[in-house]
Amino acid sequence: MDSGKKTGLRPRPNLGFGVTPSDAASPKLSVSPPSRPSVMQAPVLVLNATFEPINVTAVRRALVLMLKGVAQAEETNHSEVHSTSKAIPVPSVIRLLSYRHIPQQSRALSRKNILLRDRNTCQFCGISFPASELTLDHVLPRSRGGRSSWENLVASCYSCNNRKGDRTPEEAGLKLQRRPRPFTLHTSRQLMRLIGHRDEKWRKYLFY
């Protein structure tokens, strides 16, 4: 099986815009009722100090940035989390307090970014899954010289991954939903706008 667990790829600890808080020093956060644990993985729009949208991160990382004084909430939702000393509204949009220069280049190759590029959707059956139920698949198997690259790695559910095995999609009777491409700034903005259609609080920052 051409499982993504063998690629050696790991998500980077930063948010993709030069902020690298230490996980070891991260404040401990807990969700208070009626919030669900999954709220900590909900998407948060990240703005530069100039209000330019630059990234999407998870609630947990956004809260760490806020508690460290790196960012502030511009929009919140109806949930709260508790630090050791206070209750904090869960952010929907945060803004960095200092301007960050964003290089005009592709994101780092990682499992997290590939799943984000592919919108947590299996590129063979077209069904969306939670990240924990997806793996990475080499379109051209490594046994045939396939590389771990943006153009050769796609998100795959375990069922399709098992069906494909050590074969090409054509040999396994599978068809790719779309040709895999590098994750560029243009791709990132497209995803922000896609999510922005579902979250009214994001719209004024994305559509102007």
- d(CA 35, CA 80) in angstroms, rounded, equals 7
pLDDT, average across residues 159-169: 96
- Domain(s) labelled CATH 1.10.30 in the chain stretch across 1-17+105-183
pTM exceeds cut of 0.85: no
State the amino acid at position 136 in one-letter form. Answer: L
Q: Is the confidence at residue 169, as pLDDT, over 50?
A: yes
Residue 198 tokens read as: 């579902």
Identify the CATH assignment for 1-17+105-183 out of 3.30.410, 1.10.30, 2.60.40, 1.10.10.
1.10.30
Alpha-carbon radius of gyration of the chain:
18
With cut-offs at 50, 70 and 90, classify the pLDDT of residue 198: low
Long-range contacts of 117-122 (CB under 8 A, 24+ apart): 117/150, 117/180, 117/181, 117/183, 117/187, 117/191, 118/154, 118/155, 118/180, 119/191, 119/194, 120/155, 121/155, 121/177, 122/155, 122/156, 122/157, 122/160, 122/177
- d(CA 11, CA 19) in angstroms, rounded, equals 14
- pLDDT per residue as tens digits for the range 118-130: 988 999 999 999 9
Task: Give DSSP secondary structure letters for the chain.
Answer: ---GGGS-----SS-SSS----STTPPP-EEPTT--GGGGGSEEEEE-TTS-EEEEEEHHHHHHHHHTTSEEEEEEEEEEEE-SS-EEEEEEEEEESS-----SSPPPP-HHHHHHHTTTB-TTT--B--GGGEEEEESS-GGGT--SSTTTEEEEEHHHHHHHTTS-TTTTT---SS------HHHHHHHHHHHHTT-HHHHHHH--
pLDDT of residue 104: 61
The mean pLDDT of the chain is 80
- pLDDT per residue as tens digits for the range 80-101: 887 777 888 999 999 999 999 8
With cut-offs at 50, 70 and 90, classify the pLDDT of residue 105: low
